[in-house]
A and B are shown apart, each in its own frame.
Chain A
Amino acid sequence: MEQALLLFTLILYLMAFVSLITKVKNHLSLAFLWLAISTHLVTLAWRSITAGHLPFTNLYETILLLSFLLALRLVLWRRQVERRYRWIILMIIMGMIGTALLIPSSYKAMRPLMPALDSFWMYLHVPAYFFGYMALILAFIYSLIFLWQGKNESSSEAANLLRRLDNEVRIAFLFLNVGLITGAIWGYHSWGNYWAWDVKEVWALINILTLALYFHLLKSKGIKKAFIVILTFMTVVFTYFGVSLLLKGIHSYL
Chain B
Amino acid sequence: MRAKLIKIYVKIFQIILVVLIVILAISTVLIPEAVSRMNPDSPLAPILRGLSQDHFYNSPLNLTLWLMLCVVILLAIFFKCMPGFAKKCLHFLLVAIFLLIIYDKTVNQRFFIAIREGQEVNFASFLKKPSATYDIPLRLLKFDIQLHSGSNIPAEFTSRLLVNRTDTTVLAINRPLAIGQFRLYQNAYNLEYLIKIISDRDTLDTPFNTPFILNQQEIVIRDLDKGTGRLLVAVDKAEYRIVPNEVSNLAGRRIKFDGPSPKYTSIIEVADVTGIDILLLFGLIYLVVLAYLLGWKQSNIR
Contacts and interface: CB of A to CB of B under 8 A. Distances in A.
Contacts of B153: 111-112, 114
A174 B154 CA distance: 35
A111 B147 CA distance: 12
B295 interface: yes
A202 B271 contact: no
Interface string A172-202: 0110011001001100111111110101001
Interface string B1-35: 00000010011011001101100110111000000
B25 A212 contact: no
A194 B21 contact: no
A174 B29 contact: no
A209 interface: yes
A218 B7 contact: yes
A191 B269 contact: yes
- Tell me the interface secondary structure of chain B in the complex: helix
A111 B148 CA distance: 10
B176 interface: yes
Interface string A226-240: 000000000100000
Interface stretch (A9-17, A142-150, A163-171): A163-171
B167 to A, nearest CB: 20
A111 B283 CA distance: 32
Contacts of B278: none
A177 B290 contact: yes
- Interface residue tally of chain A, by bracket? 35 or more
Contact of B294 (A173, A192, A205, A247): A173
Contacts of A191: 185, 187, 269
A194 B280 contact: yes
A191 to B, nearest CB: 5
Interface string A48-84: 0000000000000000000000000000000000000
Nearest to B276: A188
Interface stretch (A32-40, A88-96, A115-123): A115-123
B12 to A, nearest CB: 11
Contacts of A114: 153-154
A194 B295 contact: no
Given A111-B153, A112-B155, A119 B276 contact: no
Contacts of A8: none
Given A111-B153, A174-B295, A218-B10, A189 B176 contact: yes
Contact of A206 (B21, B187, B291): B21
A216 B185 contact: no
- Give the one of B11, B110, B279 with max A CB within 10 A: B279
Nearest to B176: A192
A225 to B, nearest CB: 14
A194 B105 CA distance: 11
Contacts of A199: 28
Contacts of B57: 197
Contacts of A173: 290, 294
A212 B174 CA distance: 32
Contacts of B151: 111-112
A54 B132 CA distance: 47
B208 interface: no
A137 to B, nearest CB: 17
Contacts of B290: 173-174, 177
B24 A194 contact: no
B191 interface: no
A208 B271 CA distance: 27
A195 to B, nearest CB: 7
B287 A177 contact: yes
Contacts of B300: 163, 166-167
Nearest to B145: A115
A190 B185 contact: yes
Nearest to B158: A115
A163 B173 CA distance: 45
Interface string B164-190: 000000001110100000011101000
Nearest to A168: B301
Interface in B236-293: 269-271, 273, 276, 279-280, 283-284, 286-287, 290-291
Given A115-B157, A118-B155, A216-B14, 10 more contacts: A111-B151, A112-B155, A113-B148, A115-B173, A174-B295, A185-B283, A188-B276, A194-B279, A194-B280, A218-B7
Interface of A: 111-116, 118-119, 163, 166-167, 170-171, 173-174, 177-178, 181, 184-185, 188-195, 197, 199, 202-203, 205-206, 209-210, 212-213, 216-218, 235, 243, 247
25 contacts: A111-B153, A112-B148, A114-B153, A115-B154, A115-B155, A115-B173, A118-B155, A166-B298, A170-B294, A174-B294, A177-B286, A185-B280, A189-B174, A190-B185, A192-B183, A192-B185, A192-B273, A195-B101, A195-B105, A205-B24, A209-B20, A209-B21, A210-B21, A213-B14, A216-B17
List the 3 shortest-distance A-B pairs measured between CB atoms, nearest first.
Answer: A112-B148, A192-B271, A170-B294
